[in-house]
């Protein structure tokens, strides 16, 4: 039976709606990393129920089998920046897989994709993540250890999915709302690591309750808030026009994330 989440996905969506630049070309700067990367990245396709689901996978350059990290994209879709995040994860030694939650759909602009993602049924998103997890652990180069990560819309789903998939070893939620229901928190099967921006109270308001519930349930939740940063700092901090605060937050968050990934 599929779980239904009471946590505020609409809240995460509301936050995301205020942040995307008016033109999708704003991510042209993300393409050179993909074009110049020495690592192997490829599109794959697998089934989620009867639906074909595609995903972007990047492999690390290492002799040993590697853990796999699912990357749940922002409300803007599977952009070049998200694919670049996968490359950076692979650079850090893990296999990264980012499912396209809008597989089979095309839109003329970012706003169209954003509206479509906000309308995705919870059951479909969970099914797609389950299908991705099942595909991921069967990748021949995988060592069987699985984690999940996500940004904003994907960050909210990351925390929520930690209460659904008992095979997860860790969850890395970037500026997504925390779980706020004790019954769902009780199902969280892995440590959750939060990455939050100081100038993002709409998301941060959910963190104290999440901490309280996770502690009461004997679960691990370690949130870190980055001074001066705004919502979306992992993307904004990498852009050519990044503010010093967002750039520092992005660099510090990556350093922390890479340290945590070594525990998988």
Active site residues: 152, 200, 231
Close Cβ partners of 61 (under 8 Å, ≥ 6 residues apart): 38, 39, 90
**Rg, Å, the chain Cα set:** 17
| CA–CA gap between residue 155 and residue 151 (Å, rounded) | 4
Is residue 227 within 8 A of residue 201, CB to CB? The reply is no
Which residues partner with 37 through β-bridges? none
Is residue 178 within 8 A of residue 206, CB to CB? The reply is yes
Residue whose C-alpha is closest to residue 42's, from 85, 76, 94, 87: 87
CA–CA distances in Å: residue 139 to residues 133, 135, 149, 242: 10, 7, 18, 36
Q: Which two tokens stand for residue 146?
A: 């699985």
What SS3 string covers 54-114? EEEEEECCCCCCEEEEEEECCCCCCCHHHHHHHHHHHHCCCEEEEECCCCCCCCCCHHHHH
């Amino acid at each position: 039976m599929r779980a239904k989440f009471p946590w505020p996905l609409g809240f995460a969506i509301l936050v995301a709606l205020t942040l995307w630049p008016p033109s999708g070309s704003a991510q042209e700067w993300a393409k050179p990393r993909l074009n110049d990367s020495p690592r192997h990245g490829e599109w794959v396709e697998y089934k989620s129920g009867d639906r074909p689901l595609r995903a972007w996978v990047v492999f690390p350059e290492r002799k040993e089998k590697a853990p796999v990290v699912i990357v749940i994209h922002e409300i803007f879709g599977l952009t070049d920046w998200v694919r670049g995040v996968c490359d950076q994860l692979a650079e850090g030694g893990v296999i990264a897989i980012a499912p396209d939650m809008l597989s089979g759909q095309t839109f003329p602009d970012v706003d169209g994709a954003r509206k479509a993602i906000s309308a995705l049924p919870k059951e479909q998103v969970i099914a797609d993540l389950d299908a991705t997890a099942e595909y991921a652990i069967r990748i021949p180069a995988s060592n069987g250890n699985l984690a999940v990560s996500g940004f904003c819309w994907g960050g909210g789903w990351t925390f929520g999915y930690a209460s659904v998939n008992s095979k997860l070893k860790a969850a890395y939620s970037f500026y997504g709302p925390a779980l706020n229901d004790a019954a769902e928190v009780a199902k969280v099967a892995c440590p959750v690591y939060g990455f939050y921006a100081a100038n993002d109270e709409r998301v941060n308001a959910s963190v104290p309750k999440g901490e309280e519930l996770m502690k009461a349930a004997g679960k691990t939740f370690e949130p870190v808030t980055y001074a001066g940063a705004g919502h979306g700092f992992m993307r904004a901090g990498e852009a050519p026009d990044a503010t010093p605060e967002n750039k520092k937050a992005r660099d510090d968050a990556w350093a922390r994330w890479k340290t945590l990934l070594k525990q998988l």
